[in-house]
Amino acid sequence: MFTYYLELALRSLKRSPGLTALMVLTIAFGVAASMTTYSVFRAVSGDPIPWKSSKLFVPQIDMWGPNGRGSDGEPPDAMDYNDAVTLMRDHRARLQSAMYQISPSIVPADASKHPINVSGHAVYSEFFPMLDVPFLYGSGWSTDDDTQRAAVVVISSKLNQKLFGGSNSVGKTVNVEGKDYRVVGVLNDWNPQPRFFDVVNSGGFSTGVEDVFLPFQRAISVGIPNDGNTNCNAVPTESGFVGLQHSACVWIAYMAELDDAAAVIAYKQYLDGYAHDAQQSGRFGWAPNNRLRDLPAWLDNQHVVPSDTKVSLLVALGLLLACLVNTAGLLLAKFLRRSSEIGVRRALGAPRMAIYAQFLVEAGMIGLAGGVLGLLLTGVGVASVGWVLPKDIAALARVDISLLLITLLVAVIATTLAGLYPTFRASRVQPAWQLKSN
Amino acid sequence: MDILPILSTLRRHKLTSWLLILEIALTCAIVCNAVFLIGQRLQRMDMPSGVAEHELLQIQVADVTSPSNPYARLAEDMAALRQVPGVLSVASSNEVPFGNSSSNGNIRLDPAQPERTLNATTYFGENLVQTLGPRLVSGRDLQSDDFVDVEAALKGLSTGDSKSLPHVTLITQTLAERLWPGQNPLGRIIYLTPTVGLRVVGVLDSLARPNAYDQAKAQYSMVVPLRMGADKDLSYLIRARPEDRANVLAAALVALKKVDPQRVVTMQRSFDEVRRKFFQDDRAMAGMLVGVIVALLIVTALGIVGLASFWVAQRRRTIGVRRALGATRGNILHYFQTENFVLATFGIALGMVLAYGVNLFLMSHYELPRLPGIYFPVGAVLLWLIGQLAVLGPALRAAAVPPVVATRSV
């Protein structure tokens, strides 16, 4: 029976090619617009580390007091050197790392080549296991390397390609800012988006690759300066990078892994105790006002998903809705025009259900055709989204199997829905009246 | 043209009419809000920087081995850049308008005041005003004996030695008006810390801050006579004639490399690029919204064409009868045009309510201002026009129906 309805639908669509093309185009337009923006939205609102994000926490300490809080009473979104190092020393979470953004120069061994400027982070050894960072060769450095300020480095596969032609470079040396570092690990492709471990400096999304990771205390002791944001509540009393370390300026990101609810409560108590002690000692003149957010809450708090992306998704959904109303109107016109045909079929004994089936199949076919065309347009849309959106965000939008399936499903379901009322009207046609009027 | 028969016909085609009305309403609501959003973005992109935008170049270099004396290096670099043919003026600066990376300070009007009056950006570097090019509205520019070195100033701050601190500043007109409304700002003191008081010696017409996200605070800028040594965060700003810029930039990079072949150029761009980059999100959003509006208007117009054609086909016989009874082609044409006008009017009325609702939603969720009233009549006229254009074809076809149709049975 289904094939018969298909045949009927095809025949009816062929009879008015203009109207059919119009409906297919409308659906394709609406679906493509909403799917393109959805692909961007999905890319920016995705969880960068879904298997672990609920265990990763970002502590915030209110070391500036009421005067330095935002209008919403939030403490600073990064830490000063003193607090970050104290938290690392107390080591109350299972894994944790303070980190800051660096941008050192790498001097190639071949003296004829120019030095290159790379970006990366100074981190603690626990950074790598905490974030499940994938290694191609070697591994991260040890806790001893942290404390001994060892001259070790982890490099990206891209930098490894550039410096060592992609071979296993573990044990070889790299010249960073004029000093030799031993390579202990080479990362496999690792470019999480958003850059969740340091949202404050990357703004969430970044087209650049993290090329080098150095031990935090090593980078501090050789004076590799902070390349990220620095926020000060008061002018530092000493100049330079050392002055920054002694100041109350915030520039260090911090992340801790807390595996269960008890650990979270214990850590929160520890933070409050820390702030309370600072209040007792007179360093803070205010009550503890700390925050401990898990990663999804933190990304939300930092507005990592640009509100532009949300507004464009809303606009595109509005466009889809308008397209559907349009299609519903056209389908209604098309179906009601065939009242006499319906009348004949009903008079010959076709039940209402049969009319329903026939017309829904027709609507579904239009939806399918619209969906296929919409897929092509979505492909074009995603490919050209870089023209419209910032490159770092546009680069994330991708067409994959799930997007293809969603596009087709949305098109078919939406068109069938749009066809529901027109079909209902068609099935209500009075056979006797239609026959008589002919 | 009598409207009552049209209404009674529409009452017989309630659903189709409602669908058309709904479609026009949705289009109206989306278009009104989208045009408003575009206007917002364009207005933001138009934000004045106060500098000679088409004449400026920005260069940043990082030294692999830090120079032993950054101030000597700075002087050497500046001298090398001045030698480049085509260079009109050279400045060193910690930041540029719309450059994103910024130094900001809390301003107090009384050193004992517990809370800041406001937060403003602090430009520092040599030769800034001449090179960037904001106009001095009153007072004087900074002079070489106003300048102190950053390191000395920081030392002075900790020792309390006020001689090594800067004493004067330039501020923008907007900032002056915000701090001392209606009064002469020259000679007044602003405090960056309880011990650093800066006397206002000059007022600039306009100088946007690097982090000009909030339009109301975009002009809160001051220029402080501090000298920074050569550093990777220091920018060299070069002014040259617009047509010379490409050559000057290339020659400037060569000149800087000659000072130290081991250094890495980390940034080289014209100010046009700075502005383009800073407002790229706004341009993107505006572009996307224009695309959506065009698509939506096309879809709506096609929908009207489709439904009107259906109506004409359905009423061929009625049209024939009317023609046979003496109606002219013009009468038939006007009938369909009026019908469309009536439907569009209903749609627009409903659309205005919807537009207002959508705007309220956006206001509460995305911190947008209220939709100004002017968008409503403009949106209405636009949709009326589109409706009339779309219905013209089917209406002409209807007018072409010959009266003889009335006599045929099918």
State residue A390's pLDDT score.
Answer: 67
Separation in Å, CA of B218 to nearest CA in chain A: 18
Summarize the confidence of residues B45-53 as an average pLDDT: 90
Same domain? For B312 and B271 the reply is no
pLDDT tier at A415, thresholds 50, 70, 90: confident
Q: Are residues A80 and A125 in the same domain?
A: yes
Least confident of A362-371, B152-161, B376-385, B391-400: B152-161
Same domain flag for A338 and A426: yes
Pick the more confident residue, B164 or B89: B89
Residues A96, A225: one domain?
yes
* Position A134 in a domain: yes
B30/A307 touch (CB, cutoff 8 Å), yes or no: no
Chain mean position to CA A322: 28
What are the distances in angstroms from CA B209 to CA A389, B83, B171? 24, 30, 12
> Are B344 and B387 part of one and the same domain?
yes
Note the pLDDT tens digit of each residue in B295-314. Answer: 888 888 988 888 888 888 88
Where residue A434 falls among pLDDT bands split at 50, 70, 90?
A: low
* Termini Cα distance of chain A: 28
**pLDDT the model gives residue A310:** 80
Same domain, yes or no: B142 and B273 = yes
Q: CB–CB of B110/B94 below 8 Å?
A: no
| Whole-number pLDDT of residue A180 | 92
Q: Is the predicted pLDDT of residue B348 greater than 90, yes or no?
A: yes
pLDDT at site B101? 80
Domain endpoint, select from B230, B262, B277: B277
Q: Which of B30, B64, B148 to mutate to test the interface with A (most CBs of A within 10 A)?
A: B64
CA B67/CA B231 separation, integer angstroms: 9
Comparing CB atoms, the residue among B29, B284, B292 nearest residue A316 is: B292
pLDDT of residue A436: 66
Query: In which band, very low, low, confident or very high, does the pLDDT at B364 lie, cut at 50, 70 and 90?
Result: confident
C-alpha B327/C-alpha B314 separation (Å) is: 18
pLDDT tens figures, A266-301:
999 999 999 999 999 888 888 888 999 999 899 888
Taking the CB of residue B335, how many other CB atoms lie within 10 A of it? 22
Domain that holds residue A155: 62-257
B137 pLDDT more than 60: yes
Chain B partners of A240 at a C-beta cutoff of 8 Å?
151
Label residue B157 by pLDDT band (50, 70, 90).
Answer: confident
Residue B223 has pLDDT above 80, yes or no: yes
Model confidence pLDDT, tens digit, residues B164-217:
889 999 999 999 999 999 999 999 999 988 778 899 999 999 999 998 888 888
Whether A238 has its CB under 8 Å from any CB of chain B: the answer is: yes
B327/B335 Cα distance (integer angstroms): 11
Predicted confidence band of residue B283 (pLDDT cuts 50, 70, 90): confident
In a domain, A55, yes or no: no
With an 8 Å Cβ cutoff, are A117 and B292 in contact? no
Judge whether A262 lies within some domain.
no
User: How close A225 gets to chain B, by Cα (Å)?
Assistant: 10
Contact B157 A237 (CB under 8 A): yes
Q: Tell me whether A316 touches chain B (CB under 8 Å).
A: yes
Give the percent of chain A with pLDDT over 90: 33
Which has more confidence, B119 or A390?
A: B119
Number of domains, chain B = 2
Identify whether the C-beta of residue B235 lies closer than 8 Å to the C-beta of residue B60. Answer: yes
Among all residues of chain B, which has the CA nearest to that of A22? B302
Same domain, B249 and B310: no
A330 CB neighbours in chain B (<8 A) are 303, 306-307, 310
| Whether residue B191 sits in one domain with residue B83 | yes
pTM over 0.90? The answer is no
Residues A336 and A363 in one domain: yes
- Choose from A46-50, B124-128, B312-316 the range with maximum mean pLDDT: B124-128
- Whether A275 is in a domain gets the answer no
| B86 and B233 both lie in a single domain | yes
Report the domain count for chain A.
2
pLDDT of residue A326: 86
Residue ending a domain, choose from B277, B310, B338: B277
pLDDT of residue B57 exceeding 80: yes
pLDDT at B410 over 60: no
Q: What angle do CA A348, A350, A351 make, to 5 degrees?
A: 140
Kindly state whether residue A287 falls inside one of the protein's structural domains.
no
Q: Please tell me whether residues B291 and B360 are part of one structural domain.
A: yes
- Average of per-residue pLDDT across A48-61: 90
Q: Above 80 in pLDDT, residue A70?
A: no
How high is the pLDDT of residue A36?
84
CB-based contact A119:A211 (threshold 8 Å):
yes
Could you tell me the residue range of the domain that residue B403 belongs to?
A: 4-46+281-408
The dihedrals phi and psi of B212, each to the nearest 5 degrees, come to -85, 65
* Any domain includes A265: no
In this prediction, residue B247 carries a pLDDT of 94
Residues A212 and A323 in one domain: no
- Pair B144, B211 in one domain: yes
Of A408, A364, A386, A286, nearest in space to A32 by CA? A408
ipTM, two decimals: 0.76
> What share of chain B in percent tops pLDDT 70?
99
CA distances from B170 to A402, B116, B133, B234 (A): 58, 19, 13, 20
Contact A329 B288 (CB under 8 A): no
Q: Residue A126 and residue A146: Cα distance in Å, rounded?
A: 10
Q: Considering only residues 410 to 429 of chain A, which have any Cβ-Cβ distance to chain B shorter than 8 Å?
A: 421, 425
Is A109 in the same domain as A203? yes
A:B CB pairs within 8 Å: 147
d(CA A360, CA A93): 59
Say what the pLDDT of residue B130 is: 92
SS3 per residue for B253-303: HHHHHHHCCCCEEEEEEEHHHHHHHHCHHHHHHHHHHHHHHHHHHHHHHHH
Q: What DSSP string runs through A234-267? A: S--SS-HHHHHHHSS-B-BEEEEE--SHHHHHHH
Mean pLDDT of A360-368: 89
Residue A222: what pLDDT?
92
Nearest CA in chain A to B16: A329
Give yes or no: residues B217 and B173 share one domain.
Answer: yes
